[in-house]
């Protein structure tokens, strides 16, 4: 493990103190392997300085130094995929919450080789592909551009068209995401590394799956006898929805005897795991606050009294019951269309019940000190 310093210009007004330095050094030593710290680039924002990101492996640090502009895109992308993860799991006990100023980003919960970890690895790799591909198309990066392979004529089920405009360079995005994100997993050969590599790939391919052809019509009065088309990525929500479905159907696997691959745990499983998320360990129930395990618990979470799903009070509160609060809600109402062209609304107030999960009762024996 190396720490470089000296000639590097730090964007801090104060010099890094000795204590601070020792702290970073300790972080580097005790950073567990499975904690993918490149996620932290998102929290660093404009302060991406490769030497300051704890837990990057050498290959990642090199890529970071060589392509600072790509790191900027990866950082901005991280905010988006984390938001998407939280959207997908907003009604779940585990809700993809992040820890502030914590370089592990998701906390210890990712140490477990669970279904949730499978999802986070997949969506984070997908997020890198998406962010880099988009930045290439927008001309923000030195190293890539629109897809130059898409030239001349081609055809689809509606006939011939000319390639034109800017096709998203998904292959470059995939290539870089693979080099950067997978670098950490190539250091060790164990079940977790195999699991991460597999799920990272699923994430990358998910973005490619939703590429679509977009066209512009030319020809007499919009007859569309001539078309110019380009390949474009769909909204990232599509990838999020897809991976969320894959989370629901994720497959439990165990490591092969010789450690070169994994086997599906269910002997009756037929088919391929190629496009499925895989996990090694069962998930905790996420009901209780368990800091060592990284579980925040569900005390105080809002639940839906009439739902029988994961957002229902029964499931969300793990049978502990809930508190109900009547709160005033302000909504837009009695909207009128005014000529021309505005809609004017009133503010209406009504009362709604909000249910929140009760905290866990401490068992009596914990009170005995
Ligand atoms: C997720 O759950 C935790 C506690 O269980 C809560 O503090 C947090 O606000 C929730 N986050 C989101 C994004 O809903
Ligand atoms: C609560 O759940 C019910 C049944 O699933 C659903 O119809 C309703 O929209 C939900 N309410 C909220 C506020 O999400």
57 and 148 co-located in one domain = yes
Query: Could you tell me the distance, in angstroms and rounded to a whole number, from the CA of residue 303 to the centre of ligand 1?
Result: 12
How many distinct structural domains can be found in the chain? Answer: 2
The CA distance from 94 to 96, in Å, is 6
CATH of the domain at 361: 3.30.2460.20
CA 308 to ligand 2: nearest atom = 5
Q: What is the mean pLDDT of residues 209-236?
A: 90
Query: Could you tell me the distance, in angstroms and rounded to a whole number, from the CA of residue 160 to the centre of ligand 2?
Result: 47
Q: Where are the beta strands (DSSP E) in 141-225?
A: 153-156, 159-163, 211-218
The CA distance from 40 to 50, in Å, is 11
- Residue among 90, 95, 99, 356 whose CB has most ligand 1 atoms within 8 A, to mutate: 95
The CA distance from 307 to 313, in Å, is 7
Domain assignment present for residue 164? The answer is: yes
pLDDT at 15: 46
Taking only the tens place, the pLDDT of each residue in 56-96 is 888 998 998 899 889 989 988 999 999 999 999 999 999 99
Whole-number percent of the chain with pLDDT over 90: 58
172 and 106 co-located in one domain = yes
132 and 257 co-located in one domain = yes
279 and 326 co-located in one domain = no
pLDDT value at 55 more than 80: no
172 and 73 co-located in one domain = yes
Q: Whose CA is nearest to atom 6 of ligand 1?
A: 301
Domain assignment present for residue 83? The answer is: yes
Contact call for residues 169 and 161 (beta carbons, < 8 A): no
> End of a domain among 234, 265, 292?
292
Q: What are the C-alpha distances in Å from 22 to residues 18, 19, 25?
A: 6, 5, 5
Q: How confident is the model at residue 366 (pLDDT cuts 50, 70, 90)?
A: low
Contacts of 253 (CB under 8 A, 6+ apart): 195, 262, 263, 264, 265, 273, 278, 279, 280
190 and 170 co-located in one domain = yes
- Protein residues whose CB sits closer than 6 Å to any atom of ligand 1: 86, 90, 95, 97, 296-298, 301
- Residue among 81, 288, 295, 296 whose CB has most ligand 1 atoms within 8 A, to mutate: 296
Q: Which residue has the tokens 């499925």?
A: 276
> End of a domain among 273, 292, 311?
292
Q: What is the mean pLDDT of residues 269-277?
A: 93
227 and 327 co-located in one domain = no
- Protein residues whose CB sits closer than 6 Å to any atom of ligand 2: 304, 306-307
pLDDT value at 8 more than 60: no
181 and 319 co-located in one domain = no
Domain assignment present for residue 7? The answer is: no
Taking only the tens place, the pLDDT of each residue in 284-309 is 999 988 877 778 899 999 999 999 99
Q: Whose CA is nearest to atom 11 of ligand 1?
A: 97
Contacts of 256 (CB under 8 A, 6+ apart): 262, 263
Domain containing 367 equals 298-369
Domain assignment present for residue 161? The answer is: yes
Q: Whose CA is nearest to atom 2 of ligand 1?
A: 95
Per DSSP, the three-state class of 291 is helix
**If 0-12 CB within 10 Å is exposed, 13-18 middle and 19+ buried, where does residue 298 land?**
buried
Q: What is the pTM of this model?
A: 0.83
> End of a domain among 238, 260, 292?
292
Whole-number percent of the chain with pLDDT over 70: 86
Q: What are the C-alpha distances in Å from 292 to residues 99, 107, 114, 358?
A: 14, 9, 15, 22
Q: What are the C-alpha distances in Å from 67 to residues 1, 62, 268, 313, 343?
A: 21, 8, 47, 48, 48
Query: Could you tell me the distance, in angstroms and rounded to a whole number, from the CA of residue 130 to the centre of ligand 1?
Result: 26
Contact call for residues 146 and 168 (beta carbons, < 8 A): yes
Taking only the tens place, the pLDDT of each residue in 115-151 is 999 999 999 999 999 999 999 999 999 899 999 889 9
Domain assignment present for residue 12? The answer is: no
| Helix-strand-coil split of the chain, %, nearest 5 | 40, 20, 40
338 and 257 co-located in one domain = no
Q: Which helix (H) or strand (E) holds 131?
A: helix 115-137
Domain assignment present for residue 8? The answer is: no
197 and 306 co-located in one domain = no
211 and 321 co-located in one domain = no
105 and 251 co-located in one domain = yes
Domain assignment present for residue 106? The answer is: yes
Domain assignment present for residue 85? The answer is: yes
């Amino acid at each position: 493990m190396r720490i470089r310093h000296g000639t590097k210009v730090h964007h801090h007004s104060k010099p890094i103190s000795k204590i601070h330095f020792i702290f970073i050094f300790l972080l580097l030593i005790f950073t567990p392997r499975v904690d993918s710290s490149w996620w932290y680039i998102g929290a660093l924002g404009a302060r991406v300085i490769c030497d300051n990101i704890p837990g990057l492996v050498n290959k990642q640090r090199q890529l970071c130094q060589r392509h600072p502009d790509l790191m900027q895109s990866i950082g901005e992308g991280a905010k988006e995929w984390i938001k998407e993860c939280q959207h997908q799991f907003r009604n779940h006990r585990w809700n993809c919450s992040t820890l502030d100023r914590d370089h592990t980003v998701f906390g210890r919960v990712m140490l477990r080789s669970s279904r949730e970890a499978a999802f986070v690895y997949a969506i984070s790799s997908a997020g890198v592909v998406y962010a880099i591909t988009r930045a290439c198309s927008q001309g923000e990066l030195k190293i890539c551009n629109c897809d130059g392979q898409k030239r001349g004529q081609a055809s689809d089920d509606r006939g011939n068209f000319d390639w034109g405009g800017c096709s998203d360079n998904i292959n470059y995005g995939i290539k870089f995401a693979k080099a950067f994100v997978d670098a950490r997993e190539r250091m060790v050969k164990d079940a977790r590394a195999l699991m991460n590599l597999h799920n990272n790939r699923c994430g990358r391919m998910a973005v490619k799956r939703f590429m679509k052809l977009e066209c512009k019509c030319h020809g007499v009065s919009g007859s569309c006898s001539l078309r110019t088309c380009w390949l474009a990525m769909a909204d990232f929500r599509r990838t999020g929805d897809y991976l969320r479905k894959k989370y629901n159907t994720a497959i439990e696997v165990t490591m092969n005897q010789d450690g070169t691959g994994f086997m599906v745990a269910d002997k009756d499983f037929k088919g391929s795991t190629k496009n499925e998320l895989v996990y090694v360990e069962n998930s905790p129930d996420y009901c209780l606050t368990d800091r060592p395990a990284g579980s925040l618990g569900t005390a105080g979470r809002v639940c839906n009294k009439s739902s029988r799903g994961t957002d229902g009070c029964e499931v969300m509160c793990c049978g502990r019951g809930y508190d109900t609060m009547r709160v005033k809600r302000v909504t837009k109402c009695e909207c009128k269309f005014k000529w021309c062209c505005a809609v004017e609304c009133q503010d209406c107030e009504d009362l709604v019940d909000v249910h929140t999960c009760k905290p866990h009762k401490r068992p009596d024996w914990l009170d005995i000190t």
